[in-house]
Chain A
Amino acid sequence: MTKIPVTEFTDDLKSLEENTQATDVFRLARSRKTALKQESPSYSGIKWLTAGAFSAVLAFSLILPFGSDSLAPESNIDRVVLVKSSSDETAEEIYEEDFYYWLDIYETELLVSND
């Protein structure tokens, strides 16, 4: 058995390197330029994450107007204002007319009994 010389391995590995696909060579050149300029590197994984997040936001914004009105902030504010104003009016009315009617009755009864 003859031992395979290291140079055989080296030659084959160099052949692999020399025959790198054109697309890979292009991407490597782009990576080198990015590194030399110290721009933020672009990762394939991050690209997918960004694309996923963007499409999720887009889908959410499309679904929202048709799905539920209760999530719209403006309508909530209007409703709160409406409820507040109507409750104030009722309180005043109760105070003025209905709430102390029993006092009048009580006073009238006292007067009658004294008489």
Chain B
Amino acid sequence: MSLAYIKTDHKASLAENSQSDSAVVSIEYNNIDQFLKHIEKRAFHMARLSTRSLEDAHDIVQESMYKLVQKYTDKDSSAWKPLFYRILNSKITDYYRRNAVKDRLFPWKKTDIEDAQDYFNTAVEQGIARSSEEPDAMMIRQQNTAKLASHIQALARRQKQAFMLRTWEGLSTRETAKAMGCSEGSVKTHYSRAMIRLRSMLEDDYND
């Protein structure tokens, strides 16, 4: 891939950033229970893709929910989402730090990392697809989802966060910046790099 191509693509991705910002729709939640119910599965998969561990993903989501309820129930419901993802991301960062310390102290003991293929084999076995889809469309979706998820795991941590929050959760650049604790410019950079990387890795699969 040439440098000129990357630059053009980067510009296109940045433009995509501002376009998708306008499409962000905020949902009003009546209470925090409703909010958590809406967000829990996505948060769990984000944590699982980030940690590659089922148990740790559950622990991280549980801790994040607990902290949100403990500290921010009184806040306006529109603030819950960025706050929750801020907590979730800091818990994931803590997880990485703890593992780095563990690896230094006990180099012979490897962290139990879930293999991307194992994760997606179970996902495929379950039949990831929509019931309305035709069998061949279901099959393609299963394969694409498995590949997409394994490539997301391979992204750098910040790129992964920016991509998941923008694409999956549909946060605006500003909300993503709040959730990640960085500037909007950094979010745009991380997001566009993630998009370039994913597109280059998945173009053959998605264009088939």
Contacts and interface: CB of A to CB of B under 8 A. Distances in A.
A15 to B, nearest CB: 5
Interface string B102-137: 000000000000000000001100111110000000
Contacts of A79: none
Contacts of B68: 35
Tier of interface size on chain A: 35 or more
B202 A4 contact: yes
A84 interface: no
Question: For chain B, what secondary structure do more than half of its interface residues adopt (helix, strand, loop), or is it mixed?
Answer: helix
A12 B198 contact: no
A34 interface: yes
B63 interface: yes
Contacts of A57: none
Nearest to A35: B65
A13 B36 CA distance: 19
A114 B167 CA distance: 122
Contacts of A31: 40, 58, 61-62, 65
A32 B55 contact: no
Interface residues of B, number: 47
Contacts of A1: 203, 207
Interface in B54-90: 54-55, 58-59, 61-63, 65-66, 68-70
B198 A32 contact: no
Interface stretch (B141-149, B154-162, B179-187): B141-149
Contact of A25 (B36, B41, B69, B70): B41
B199 interface: yes
A55 B52 CA distance: 29
**A11, A28, A41 pick with most chain B CB within 10 angstroms:** A28
A6 B141 contact: no
Interface string A30-73: 01101110100111110000000000000000000000000000
A6 B63 CA distance: 31
B42 A44 contact: no
Contact of A19 (B126, B148, B167, B170): B126
A21 interface: yes
Contacts of A44: 55, 58-59
14 contacts: A8-B144, A17-B42, A17-B168, A24-B54, A24-B58, A25-B41, A28-B58, A28-B61, A32-B37, A32-B40, A35-B68, A35-B69, A43-B62, A44-B55
